[in-house]
Chains A and B, each alone.
Chain A
Amino acid sequence: MTSLARRASFLAGARAVAPIMVGIVPFGLLAGATAVAVGIDPLQAVGMSVFIFAGASQLAAIDLVGGDAPAVVVVATVLIINLRMSMYSASLAPYFDRLRTLARVPLAYLLTDQAYALAVTRFGEEEGPRSRTWYYLGAALPLWVVWQLCTVVGIVAGAAVPESIPIDFAVPLTFLALLVPAIEGRATAAAAAVGGGVAVVGAGLPFNLGLVVGALCGIAGGMVADGVGDE
C-alpha cells in the first residue's frame, strides 16, 4: 500500500469523525471542569483522560471521588461501565487479525464508542486490511487529541465558572443524555428502571454499594424482561 493511499484512508477516517467532535468537546470540557470542581488535582484530571480515556467512566469516577467513595468502588465502577468495550474488541478483532500483535496495542488503546461505530460501519464494505487500519486511526487519533485538549481547557476554564452555576449537576445530566438513547424497547427500559430504582433505594449503603448492586440488578432485570418477551 502506497503512502498516498494510507493518507487517503486516514483522511477519510478523520472526515467521518469530524461531526462527532461536536458531542466530544462539551464532554471533554466537563471531564476537566468537574474534576477540578470536586477537588481533584489538575494533573490527576489530565491523568484520568490519558490513562482511562473513556468519558462516561471518567465522569462516574469524578462523581464517586467527589462523594468520598472508596478506591475499590471507583475502579470497579469504571471497569463495569467500560465492559461494553469487550464487545467492540471482539467485533473489530477479525478486521485486524493480519496485523502484528504489537501493532494491535495502540489500536486497542484508542478504541472508543465513536471509533468503533465508525469503523464497523465502514469495514463491512471495505477493501484491504491496511486501509482499514489507517481509516480507523484517522477516526480514533483526532478523537484522542481533541479529548485531551478539551480536558485541559476544562480544567483551566472550570476554575473560572461562577459559584452560582451548579457545575457538579452537569455529571448526572451527561449520564441522562447518554441513558435516554440507550433505552430502546422493553428490555433496556426494564434494565434502566430496575438499575435506577435499586440504586435509589440502596443510596444509603456503605461503600457506594447501591451503585454496584443497582447496576447488577438492572442487568438481571433487562435479561428477565427480554427472556419473558421471547416466550
Chain B
Amino acid sequence: MSLAGLDLWLVILAAGLGTFLIRLSFFLLFERVDTVPTRVRWALSFVPPAVLAALVAPDIVALSPESFSPARLLAGLFAVAVAWRTESVLATIVSGLVALVVFQTVL
C-alpha cells in the first residue's frame, strides 16, 4: 500500500469534500438553475452500470495468464447468478466468498 499517513488523509478529505459539494450542489443552485439538464441527467443515468462494471470486471477476469484465476472467475459468475436471482447484497457476498473458498480448494 503506497498511500498512507498524511497523503491518505488528504485523499479522504478531498474525496469527502468533493462528494459533499456534489450533494449540496442543487440544494444551493436551485434558485438559479431549475434542474439538471435532461441530457446531463441522461448521461448520468449510465454512471452506475458503467462504473460498477469497470470496477468489478478486472477483479474477476484477467487477460494476463499470471494474474488469471479460474477460481475467482467461477466464483464471480456464481455470484452474478445469485445477485440476479436474489437482488440481495448480503446473499451475493456470502455465496461468492463461500464459492471462492470452495473453488480454491477444489481447483
Residue in chain B with minimal CB distance to A172? B59
Pairwise interchain contact B84-A85, C-beta atoms closer than 8 A: no
Query: Could you tell me the distance between the alpha carbons of A222 and B47 in the complex, rounded to whole angstroms?
Result: 9
Q: Are B46 and A218 in contact (CB under 8 A)?
A: yes
Task: Report the Cα distance A164→B104, complex, angstroms.
Answer: 10
A185-210 near B? 1/0 per residue, CB < 8 Å: 00111011111111111011000001
Do B15 and A57 have beta carbons less than 8 Å apart? yes
List, in ascending order, chain A residues with CB within 8 A of B100's CB. Answer: 166, 169
Q: Say if the beta carbon of B43 comes within 8 Å of chain A.
A: yes
Contacts of A22 in B (CB 8 A): 90
- In the complex, the answer to whether B83 meets A180 with C-beta atoms within 8 Å is yes
Nearest-Cβ distance from residue A149 to partner chain B, whole angstroms: 17
Nearest residue (CB) in A for B57 is: A196
Cα A125 to Cα B53 in complex, Å, equals 36
| Complex-state Cα separation, A84 to B23, whole angstroms | 9
Give the contacting residue for A23; candidates B14, B84, B90; CB below 8 A: B90
Q: Which of A6-14, A89-97, A150-158 contacts B (4 or more CB under 8 A)?
A: A89-97
Contacting B75 at CB < 8 Å: which of A53, A84, A169? A169
Q: Which of B50, B62, B93 is close to A30, meaning CB atoms less than 8 Å apart?
A: B93
Measured in the bound complex, the distance between the Cα atoms of B3 and A47 in whole Å is 15
**Which residue of A has the minimal Cβ distance to B98?**
A165
Checking B24, B44, B93 against A177 with a beta-carbon cut-off of 8 angstroms, the contacting residue is B93
The tally of residues in B whose CB lies under 8 Å from a CB in A reads: 73
A71 in complex: contacting residue of B3, B24, B80, CB < 8 Å: B3
Task: Tell me the residues in window 8-27 of chain B with beta carbons closer than 8 Å to chain A beta carbons.
Answer: 8-20, 22-27
A199 and B96: CB pair below 8 A?
Answer: no
Chain B 58-77 interface residues, beta-carbon cutoff 8 Å to A: 58-64, 72, 75-76
Q: A195 vs B49: C-alpha distance in the bound complex, in angstroms?
A: 8
Task: Using CB atoms, name the residue of chain B closest to A44.
Answer: B8
B43, A178: Cβ atoms closer than 8 Å: no
List 20 A–B pairs whose Cβ atoms lie within 8 Å, in order of A's numbering. A23-B88, A47-B9, A48-B16, A51-B16, A75-B15, A79-B15, A83-B22, A87-B41, A108-B23, A176-B83, A177-B79, A179-B56, A179-B83, A188-B49, A192-B53, A195-B57, A196-B54, A214-B54, A215-B51, A222-B49
